[in-house]
Chains A and B, each alone.
Chain A
Amino acid sequence: MDSIFAQATATGRAGVSVIRLSGAQAFDIARIFCNLPQVGLTGLRAVRGRDGALIDQALVLCFEQGASFTGERVVEFQVHGGLATVAKLLSELSEQEGCRLAEPGEFTRRALENGQLDLNQVEALSDLIDAETESQRQQAIRVLDGRFGDAGEMWRGKLLRAAALLEASIDFSDEEIPDDLSVEVISLVEETRASIAAILERSMMASKIRTGFTVAIIGAPNVGKSTLFNAIVGRQAAITSDVAGTTRDVIECRVDLQGLAVSFLDTAGLRESEDEIENLGISRAYEMAAAADVRVFLVEEVGEPLPIALRDEDIVRLNKGDERSSDVGTVSGKNGEGVSELLSLIAERLMVKTPQDVVAIRERQITGLRAAESFLGRVLELIQADPLPFELASQELYFALSELDFVFGRIDIESVLDEIFSSFCLGK
């Protein structure tokens, strides 16, 4: 197979650019340009073209087969990031026999083929590369280091065992099979279902880490919502004026708030209006407010009635703090007073909602897990019926397994049979 190379860092001017070379011949090819440091050590090397001219002084790292990202031998050149330097090294590499520029995703694909990553990890990796914030990065890392896969392995192991017990009761009923296998099946299925349910619950929240949380700013017209919004997002995104009803639709802006992706929503002031367009904006504002994770209510007076019911995580602030003497619970978009305290509080409230454990993050994963959970519920119902309808319980279990197949890959009947034959002494 060809060795492949590509610039691993983003193209464009940068302090340092990394060029990665992967393949069985990677070490041999790299030696054409410089001496290689020992595997696992970094070496500063003068990298020279075939004509002997210096290309750059680069940090060079070597990874042995099986111990690299792709699973193949890998050499990384960390060169100074000038466009010309990178271009020169790439062109030198491309002239080597059996060496070519990697196709998009080819490094990852080789990692997948060489068993360095599973499908979920590949997805997590693409999330990681796209991660905008620290939380997104951490979450992708949790999938990438295989903890999600570990959970899946555990479920599959338990359900495989449960299927084997049911099938043994069916296909080997005239042999010496213990009678009380259903007790073990119940506990295996119950544990798996509970574990899936827990992950699903966490995942609901975790999906926010990928897609971002929303925080809506709500209040009566002309209370200063847009001014606060602009102060938060740090630019004049919403048009502000003293005329009530200026914000007619919902304006959204995404910020990185202490590592969380948060969309702030500036909503139309909530009031009765004659203006049809404004009314459309107001009803949108109600909808968005209902769906937001945290709402910041901006009010004129302490204790004034709020347009929608307050939830625990919501925050109420007195407006236009710059015009008031009291600084308790006030905020001013105009001079920035109280804005950073408000942001800290919002971040704190959102953090509580952020799971720190393994989660399923892709829609593909969540859909599969949800269906599996419900089939497992049916298995439990059936298995406690009398007489036990073995073939139906087993069928529901296969429905559950086929949903998990979708997430983790397939369990086939051969693995069920393997489990049966290693557990029971069969054969008349």
Chain B
Amino acid sequence: MKHFDVVVVGGGHAGCEALHAACRYGLNAALVTLDKNKVGVMSCNPAIGGLGKGHLVREIDALDGVMGTAADLSGIQFRLLNRSKGPAVQGPRTQSDRQLYLQAIQALLAQQDYTLIEGEAAALMSNAGSVTGVRLADGSEVHARSVILTAGTFMRGTIHIGDKRVSAGRMGEKAADELSLQMESLGAVFGRLKTGTPPRLNGDTIDWSQLELQPADCDPVMLSFLSKGPAVQQVSCGITHTNSHTHDIIRQNIGKSAMYGGHIEGVGPRYCPSIEDKITRFADKSSHQVFLEPEGLTTNCVYPNGISTSLPDDVQEAYVRSIQGLENVEIQQPGYAIEYDFLNPQGLSSDLESNLMGGLFLAGQINGTTGYEEAAAQGLVAAIGVAKRLKGVCPITFDRSTSYIGVMIDDLTTRGATEPYRMFTSRAEFRLKLRADNADQRLTEQGHTSGLVSGQRYGVYQEKVKRLDQCRSLLSSMSVSPNQARQVGIDLGLDGRRRNGHELLSIPGVTIANLADLTPRLVEFDTESLDQVAREALYVTYIERQGRDIEALARDLSVKIPNGFHYAGVAGLSSEMIAKLSAARPASLGAAKNIEGVTPAALTAVLVSIKSQSLKNTG
């Protein structure tokens, strides 16, 4: 009989991050996985990061997680997306060598002390409403005080290729059907989601000479704060396009597609449509871009990003070969669609603890998300929740105004998921503040207090913050007259006002180089610190204004609701809200906001009513 603090079910990105974090907290942890060689595998596209996603990786890294480090060790094409746009919307991304990524994750886990159990989790065990472990398909029991379930696409996973359907969690891997059934018997209500993957191509059969190439950045930006540069050789991607012939082939065979043949009920992501979807929904487009991404340095396998499909094998071959450069290509593994179970994340606490039973935490695709980064971030949050529950560690606050993780958790738990949820920068209303470059300053201190961040990382972080503070105070100590500013080429009206370095940097077009002419000591600072103070200056007025909005909101929330306030008399308040509020009698708007199910619209209506009444009383 084995007893653990926590057992993590599933060795994907959510599971690995959860397991590693649990070990960092010093918890006695076990990993249950179907195949120990698949721990840390990239199931779909071989890339980490991107817009919104790169932000998540930096936040995971700021809390000493593994994803950023593994991505940097395996990165074969680093690119900073939106390099020409503002720093808040730039996202670091890399393509990774699949094999190197998996090895990096397994090596990082090997440095921790945990128990690996190969097997299929078939049932959750519980006692008096709290989880007590998992029972495996072979009947053995793994006892634990908490369980983190990260089942990915395995729960009742069904793969579709044309009209063929196979029960599988990934191509060639067994699905986990028993666990779904057992959880249903406990009252879980699953929904179905769908995702797809393209055929894998033999790179040796691609005519690269015909193709446009996209190289890596010459000035690579890493995913982890601790990495200095790429660990391995950098490669280019090929770019090609579908054409009208491709589209004809797909249109003629559309009825054979699993998705269009009515075989699939699950909802797929709109931002990651299959090629069938693209051609049907955007019929007027005669061509779609396809990125040919090498899967690694030692494999000839190529991932054609942009043409995921559930058409039959022969149709896949026909349409792929109609594309320029792929005329003679050989398909190594056909593309497919996969349907799987998920649970409405509205049933989760902000620690990702399920309402099914105490101590059961859910992370990743089971919560309706998609993407490695989203999954890993949830694994981390779940592990923090477990540590809080078992050890009473100081929790880390994730909220919308301080992290992308907070945005995601809030979105999932308050709105639920109707399609696979992916992070975008536009989901973060405070994105000017939530930049990839300051993720450590938003989270590392808290992570250290909580016991999640190692001394080594914390030391590096402290050094960085010290340099930044020195740089900021040097800028603050500057006092530059408009005349002096003009002498170094800063176009400033002669208003007689002296400005410090921060104020000068916030003027559009003013750079650190201008300031260095005024204060030569600036050149003593590292580029990273200088770049960051420049970014801060760029957004400072917006962030202050948003800060005032947050304060105004906080002020509104502190508004007292009079004793005996008559909710039924508030225009625009639904009877459900009236019932909830009348029953709870909150003392302030803030207390009202915390009542489950009370909407922002209802709060506004109550606020307006209180304000107009007090006006009447004074007027």
Interface of B is mostly: loop
B278 within 8 A of A: yes
**Contacts A122-B572, A167-B426, A174-B81 hold; do A421 and B86 have CB atoms under 8 A apart?**
no
- Asked whether, in the complex, the Cβ of B569 is within 8 Å of the Cβ of A104, the reply is yes
**Contacts A119-B571, A122-B571 hold; do A395 and B271 have CB atoms under 8 A apart?**
no
**Contacts A175-B289, A409-B601 hold; do A390 and B569 have CB atoms under 8 A apart?**
no
Q: What string of 1s and 0s marks CB contacts (under 8 Å) between A415-428 and chain B?
A: 01100010001111
CA distance A103 to B582 in the complex (A): 15
CA distance A427 to B278 in the complex (A): 9
- Asked whether, in the complex, the Cβ of B81 is within 8 Å of the Cβ of A173, the reply is yes
Residue of B nearest to A426 (CB): B271
- Asked whether, in the complex, the Cβ of A173 is within 8 Å of the Cβ of B85, the reply is yes
Residue of A nearest to B278 (CB): A425
B458 within 8 A of A: no
* A39 CB, min distance to chain B CBs, angstroms: 26
B298 within 8 A of A: no
- Asked whether, in the complex, the Cβ of A113 is within 8 Å of the Cβ of B575, the reply is yes
Q: What string of 1s and 0s marks CB contacts (under 8 Å) between B394-437 and chain A?
A: 00000000000000000000010000000011110101100000
B306 within 8 A of A: yes
Most chain A CB neighbours (cut-off 10 Å) among B86, B285, B289, B574? B86
Q: Which residues of A contact B508 (CB under 8 A)?
A: 385
- Asked whether, in the complex, the Cβ of A428 is within 8 Å of the Cβ of B305, the reply is yes
Contact among A109, A385, A426 with B571 in the assembled complex (CB-CB below 8 Å): A109
CA distance A222 to B592 in the complex (A): 62
Interface size class of B (residues with CB under 8 A): 35 or more
Q: Which residues of B contact A394 (CB under 8 A)?
A: 426
CA distance A109 to B609 in the complex (A): 14
Contact among A171, A409, A425 with B285 in the assembled complex (CB-CB below 8 Å): A425
B166 within 8 A of A: no
- Asked whether, in the complex, the Cβ of B85 is within 8 Å of the Cβ of A390, the reply is yes
Q: Which residues of B contact A399 (CB under 8 A)?
A: 545
CA distance A90 to B106 in the complex (A): 79
- Asked whether, in the complex, the Cβ of B51 is within 8 Å of the Cβ of A173, the reply is yes
CA distance A395 to B546 in the complex (A): 10
A41 within 8 A of B: no
Most chain B CB neighbours (cut-off 10 Å) among A172, A385, A391, A399? A391
CA distance A191 to B553 in the complex (A): 31
- Asked whether, in the complex, the Cβ of B425 is within 8 Å of the Cβ of A171, the reply is yes
- Asked whether, in the complex, the Cβ of A103 is within 8 Å of the Cβ of B568, the reply is yes
Residue of B nearest to A396 (CB): B542
Residue of B nearest to A402 (CB): B549
Residue of B nearest to A424 (CB): B282
**Contacts A390-B86, A421-B271, A427-B273 hold; do A171 and B571 have CB atoms under 8 A apart?**
no
- Asked whether, in the complex, the Cβ of A425 is within 8 Å of the Cβ of B281, the reply is yes
- Asked whether, in the complex, the Cβ of B425 is within 8 Å of the Cβ of A170, the reply is yes
CA distance A416 to B426 in the complex (A): 9
A-B CB proximity, top 9 nearest: A425-B282, A421-B270, A428-B305, A167-B426, A427-B272, A391-B86, A171-B424, A428-B306, A427-B273
Q: Which residues of A pack against B, CB within 8 Å?
A: 1, 103-106, 108-109, 112-113, 119, 122-123, 126, 167, 170-176, 364, 385, 387, 389-392, 394-395, 398-399, 402, 409-410, 413-414, 416-417, 421, 425-428
A364-B608, A390-B85, A425-B288 known, 6 other contacts, Cβ within 8 Å: A126-B571, A171-B52, A173-B82, A391-B431, A409-B601, A425-B282
A-B contact pairs, 15 of them (CB 8 A): A105-B571, A112-B571, A170-B89, A171-B426, A172-B271, A391-B432, A392-B86, A398-B429, A413-B429, A414-B415, A426-B271, A427-B270, A428-B45, A428-B289, A428-B306
